[in-house]
Structure 1
Amino acid sequence: MSLSTRLSAHMSTRLSTRLSALAASVALVTAAAPMATAAPSATGSPSAAAAPIVNLATNPGFELPAPNLSDWGAIAGWNCTGGPAEAAVTTTAPHTGTSALTVTPANADSTGECAQTVSVQPNTTYTASAWVRGSFVYLGATGTGHDVAPAWTETTGGGWQQLTTRFTTGPNARSIRLYVHGWYQEGPFSVDDVHVDGPAPAPATPLGSVPTTDKVVFFTVDDGWTRTPEAEKFIADNHLPITAFPLPMPAGTDPGFFRRVTAVPGSSIQDHSVSHTDPTTLTLAQQQVEICDARDAMTRAFGTAPTVFRPPYFAWNADTLQAAANCGMRTVLTADADFSWGASNIWHPGTLQPGDVVLMHWTDTLATDLPRALAAAQAAGLKPAGLIDYLH
């Protein structure tokens, strides 16, 4: 049995268990949302009562392993230009903890840059810092809305030295790119204990359906292990807007397929985690790695950053909502109907209703699941619409 078949069967079994439990309580999803944290004022001063200062960096101490199904050599939370040929997590003399990042530029044309995207609030001041070891090591941020001079050191003299820089985001800044790098032909360097200190974004909003009175439903399709030309043809022939939630591995294996099945206006490709692990079994920091790394993979493959997170098995908790927000997600989306694998389950009385989110999966049954879902929508006087057009 192939890897994809085994993974698909395992996920199907676990999902069926989750969905059975969900059917009795899906109506409570929206009501369960925690109160959002107040945003900072336009002057950049966070509310003293509602916006505690936290470290927003993903895997700041390089202590977390890359999730299962990650690319080989991936460093959780980080994207390094030289890949595993240059960058690795090592356990030799870290600043704190058990590990640090060590980068050895592979040639004279490389600075060995490693970076990550950090979600921020506009008009807000943040402090970035990192402990570094080596010669000509730089720490900085781009995308802030203002020019930010990097912090750097000529040499740390063989020990660890902290670099620190502060920046205030512009009125349109929602994320920044934090980077560390060395310099040409200056040898290896190490990094540990990275911080981006400031107020966290308000938690993402959990939804099982979309509040609207328009006569529309939303078709969502998860995972991506089995991709059939019959399903692709049905989507194209019926001009169906599809919100796809593929995992990075199948998406990276066949990105052209996902571009084609999301070609109808209103379609999009969103975030479903890296490894399809139940988020509620993970810490906030681990959930942030799963969501941010999947976001980065989708952005690299398809050019647009996701803003919606579909939690595996529809499992989520307060940490999921905050981790999703820290990765730039505005919505954590489940569903209130399931038409996967021959099912026709609607988790509320009656037929499909305006705003319902319909769950399906990229499986060998999708070519028959889609027409059954479309028929159910049409029988209720509804038509499929683009999810991203209705989420604000």
Structure 2
Amino acid sequence: MSVSSRVSALAASVALLTGFTGPAAFAASPSTAAPSAPSSAAPTVNLATNPGFELPSPNLADWGSIPGWTCTGGPAEAAVTTTAPHSGTSTLTVTPANADSTGECAQTVSVQPNTTYTASAWVRGSFVYLGATGTGKDVSPAWTETTGGNWQKLTTRFTTGPNARSIRLYVHGWYQQGPFSVDDVHVDGPAPAPATAAGSIPTSDKVVFFTVDDGWSRPADAETFLADHHLPITTFPLPMPAAADPSYFKRVTAVPGSSVQDHSVSHSDLTKLPLDQQQVEICDARDSLTRLFGTAPVVFRPPFFASNADTLQAAANCGIRTVLTADADFSWGASNIWHPGLLQPGDVILMHWSDTITADFQRALAAADAAGLKPAGLTDYLR
């Protein structure tokens, strides 16, 4: 679309929307569909990740990334600044780099079906928009023609459809309208139930689950072994090594039942972080792996097996259903089963991508055979 066409589209939008009465900030009308009443046990909370742009980037995060957010122009356009924030010490400032950019920044927010949410943000600039996609129903964005150099609140409400599990929350400007700022973003709705903590998977089937963490070492012989033995695995790579060689992780998870799941951004002990920073670690890893592999993780492996109540809630806020440890370790030549006797149905076996991983697979497979068990796909057994 040419710049003149975009300007015409903007003018048409203004002409349409300014026909409505009301304040300068236009908000979408709530859906007429009756939402499900939230449970009394689910208080209303802000589900947005890093809503005030105050949180530091985790170690190993992409350079220039903004925790919790993905901006189309990257660090060339979007930055956290300390210039006149609405509250706190920081704000997001976006300067579209050229006439083809609106400077959009967005994040994925986990939601519940048939539930009403209120999204809001304080903005400063001309033609700034706030909206959501993936709700299952059409939602018009909230927007303002100009804030007159001051901060102005945009608000919109939406009710999710029966199949909605996540929405994409976005803010953006308009072509050739200059920089804009955003602060104090909210997606207010019922808090999801905490994720389930598990070290094994309850089942009477004669199966075990092979899980492999990290991803810094990626031996070719391990890939061959998995293919030759038709062995399903669940791998929990960190985003940085996963992004360094995504094709490797696609190949080693090619056996049906295999999957790529979440292991945080920085491999830190999350129990030393508050809930909002844990949410950044889990959600940003989820987003990175989803972009690389096309499927959002639903399982989280806490680094060092360290988790607390905040971890379970942060994981749930990121759409994670299960926070998984293990009850056997076959990493780096070990053969440790953390309960008496042989492996048992539903056991989760921990391994790591390393130069010993092929031998570790062989040893774990032999231990499973000795117990009369077969490796199976983990996500096939999660409810």
Q: TM-score under structure 2 normalisation?
A: 0.91
1:292 corresponds to = 283
How does 1:70-219 map onto structure 2 within 5 Å?
70-219=61-210
- Displacement of 1:92 in angstroms is 0.5
- Displacement of 1:43 in angstroms is 3.9
Structure 1: stretches of 5+ with no match in the other structure? 1-41
How does 1:206-285 map onto structure 2 within 5 Å?
206-285=197-276
- Displacement of 1:106 in angstroms is 0.6
SS of residue matched to 1:140: strand
Instruction: Work out the CA distance in 2 between the residues paired with 1:205 and 1:116.
Output: 24
1:28 corresponds to = none
Is the CA contact 1:137–1:183 (under 8 Å) kept in the aligned structure 2? yes
> Deviations for 1:123-158, whole angstroms, at most 9, x for unmatched residues?
111100000000000000011111111000000000
Structure 2: stretches of 5+ with no match in the other structure? 1-33
Is the CA contact 1:131–1:191 (under 8 Å) kept in the aligned structure 2? yes
- Displacement of 1:201 in angstroms is 1.1
2:365 corresponds to = 374
Instruction: Work out the CA distance in 1 between the residues paired with 2:82 and 2:35.
Output: 42
> Deviations for 1:46-82, whole angstroms, at most 9, x for unmatched residues?
13x3111100000000000111101110000000000
Instruction: Work out the CA distance in 2 between the residues paired with 1:58 and 1:72.
Output: 18
Determine if the alignment matches structure 1 residue 301 to structure 2 residue 286: no
Is the CA contact 2:35–2:116 (under 8 Å) kept in the aligned structure 1? no
Instruction: Work out the CA distance in 1 between the residues paired with 2:273 and 2:372.
Output: 41
Is the CA contact 2:42–2:193 (under 8 Å) kept in the aligned structure 1? no
Instruction: Work out the CA distance in 1 between the residues paired with 2:244 and 2:262.
Output: 16
Instruction: Work out the CA distance in 1 between the residues paired with 2:213 and 2:157.
Output: 40
Is the CA contact 1:309–1:331 (under 8 Å) kept in the aligned structure 2? yes
SS of residue matched to 2:193: coil
Instruction: Work out the CA distance in 1 between the residues paired with 2:213 and 2:145.
Output: 49
2:45 corresponds to = 54
Instruction: Work out the CA distance in 1 between the residues paired with 2:222 and 2:73.
Output: 38
Is the CA contact 1:123–1:168 (under 8 Å) kept in the aligned structure 2? yes
Instruction: Work out the CA distance in 1 between the residues paired with 2:78 and 2:56.
Output: 14
Q: 1:45 aligns with which of 29, 33, 37?
A: 37
> Deviations for 1:179-198, whole angstroms, at most 9, x for unmatched residues?
00000000000000000001
SS of residue matched to 1:264: coil
- Displacement of 1:45 in angstroms is 1.7
Identity %: 83
Runs of 4+ in 1 over 2 A off after TM superposition: none
CA RMSD, 1 decimal: 0.7
Is the CA contact 1:80–1:112 (under 8 Å) kept in the aligned structure 2? yes
> Deviations for 1:109-129, whole angstroms, at most 9, x for unmatched residues?
100000000011111111000
Determine if the alignment matches structure 1 residue 364 to structure 2 residue 355: yes
The letter for the 2-side match of 1:235 is: L
Q: 2:325 aligns with which of 329, 334, 338?
A: 334
Instruction: Work out the CA distance in 1 between the residues paired with 2:277 and 2:150.
Output: 29
Instruction: Work out the CA distance in 1 between the residues paired with 2:163 and 2:222.
Output: 39
2:55 corresponds to = 64
The letter for the 1-side match of 2:76 is: A
Bigger CA radius of gyration: 2
